[in-house]
Structure formats: C-alpha cells, structure tokens
Structure 1
C-alpha cells in the first residue's frame, strides 16, 4: 500500500464549502478565529481533514441556537462545568428573548384590534409611548394602559 493510499484524503476549501454549504470566505474567517483550522497547507492553500465537515456543522447548529462565534469558541475550548454554565446562561437569555417577543406580540395584536381603528389615533397607544418615555418597560406601560 502506498503512502497516498494510507493517508486520509484532505479537502480543499472549495470541497469543504460544497459539503457544508458555507462560503469559502466564511471558512477563512472561521480559520482566523481558530474555530475550523486546516490540517495543512499545500502550495499556500488550505487543506482540511474530513472532520472539518463535522466542525462546521457544529458551528452552524450553535449559531442557529443563538451562540455568537466568540461564545462558541469559549464553549469548544471550555471545561464541562464551564459548558454547563454557558448553556444555563443561553437558556436564560432565550427565555428573556421569548418574554420580549410575547410582550411585543401582545402590543401588536392590540394595535391590530384597536377600537380606535388606527393605532396612531389611539389614546392607549400614546399612553404606552408616554410610559416608555417615563422609563417603564413596554410590558409595564402596556399593562397600565389596559
């Protein structure tokens, strides 16, 4: 068996881009951040191990969950306890985002069904705006107006 038969095939950046759906420019950025490093360089070109496909998949999943690239770098490099703490923080962050979305949805649904038929003419709408200007949250302002 020759050396080329024993050595695992390396992927070019274009091949990695094709297999993951991630543009080569983004893969270069991931390399700069240390998230997906090439296994070697041949004639100045990046060559990736097959495992880089999995690494890019991990990044895509974590980005969809809401992790920043910096958070992802800390997650991958971290200890198990640190990862659990990051998961807890992200869960709390997502819960807060969900709450803000529900408050916004309630406000928009009111605007859609507003008895004044036009939110800009609605006295409740303007009392909510005034409440925000006084430092109340949207939720507090909306609940006081109703």
Structure 2
C-alpha cells in the first residue's frame, strides 16, 4: 500500500511515518517506481508506535522496545514504575479538583475534609 493509504488507515500523517522510518522505528518499505510500498503488517506496527508514544516512551525507548527481550524488559519495568507514579499523581489531582468543586470553604486549606485527604496522600501505600 502507498504511504497515503497507510496514513489514511492509521490516522497518522505521512510525515510522521517518514520520520519513524528515518529513526529506524519502521522497517524501510519496498519501493516500486520510486514510491514507498508498505505491507499490511505496517498498520499494526504504526498502532504499536502510537501506543508507545501515548505511554510516554521516547524514540530511544521505542527503539529499545522493539529490540531483544533482556534490554526491553529493564526499560519496561522502569517505564511501568513511572506510569504507576503518574497514576497516583493523577488520582490525587482528581481528588483535589473534585473536592474543590464542591467545597464551600474559600480557602481549601481550611477544609478539614481536604486536610485529611492531603494527609492520606503523604502516607505510604
């Protein structure tokens, strides 16, 4: 398939596909008449690349993700720890915003319910 068709199927701009090729995150496509031609499995590879980006992986980490198992496993463990901490931080932010929306106190720090909530955030899980 052409790069335009691949871009259409994946919702990823052709410029991003070419960028990933330059950075060796996508295998080089075959050429026919000077045009890139992609196999059907390129769609899956691009979906994977998008998910890796959404997970916060850098280009180097995405490259490593596609490499051998021992190096990949160490990188994934590190990234999982970062994601888990981010989930805790986002949960606390959600609690803060949800409480602030319904709290009647002018200064949320004067709210005993919120103070108790903040204290629980400092406790190890």
What band does the TM-score fall into relative to the shorter chain?
A: 0.7 to 0.9
TM-score by length of 2: 0.73
TM-score by length of 1: 0.64
Quick one: which of 100, 105, 109 aligns to 1:124?
109
State the distance in 2 between where 1:101 and 1:33 align: 32
**Which runs of structure 1 show a deviation greater than 4 angstroms over 4 or more consecutive aligned residues?**
none
Q: How many residues align?
A: 114
Secondary structure of residue in 1 paired with 2:53: helix
Quote the offset at 1:49 in angstroms. Answer: 2.9
- Kindly report which structure 2 residues correspond to 1:23-62, keeping only aligned pairs within 5 A, or say none: 23-62=13-52
RMSD: 2.5
5+ residue gaps, structure 2 = 121-125
> Does the Cα contact within 8 Å between 1:38 and 1:47 map onto a contact in 2?
no
2:91 paired with 1:102: yes
Quote the offset at 1:109 in angstroms. Answer: 2.7
Give the greater-gyration-radius structure (CA): 1
2:80 aligns with 91
Higher relative contact order (CA 8 A, sep 6+): 2
5+ residue gaps, structure 1 = 1-10, 126-138
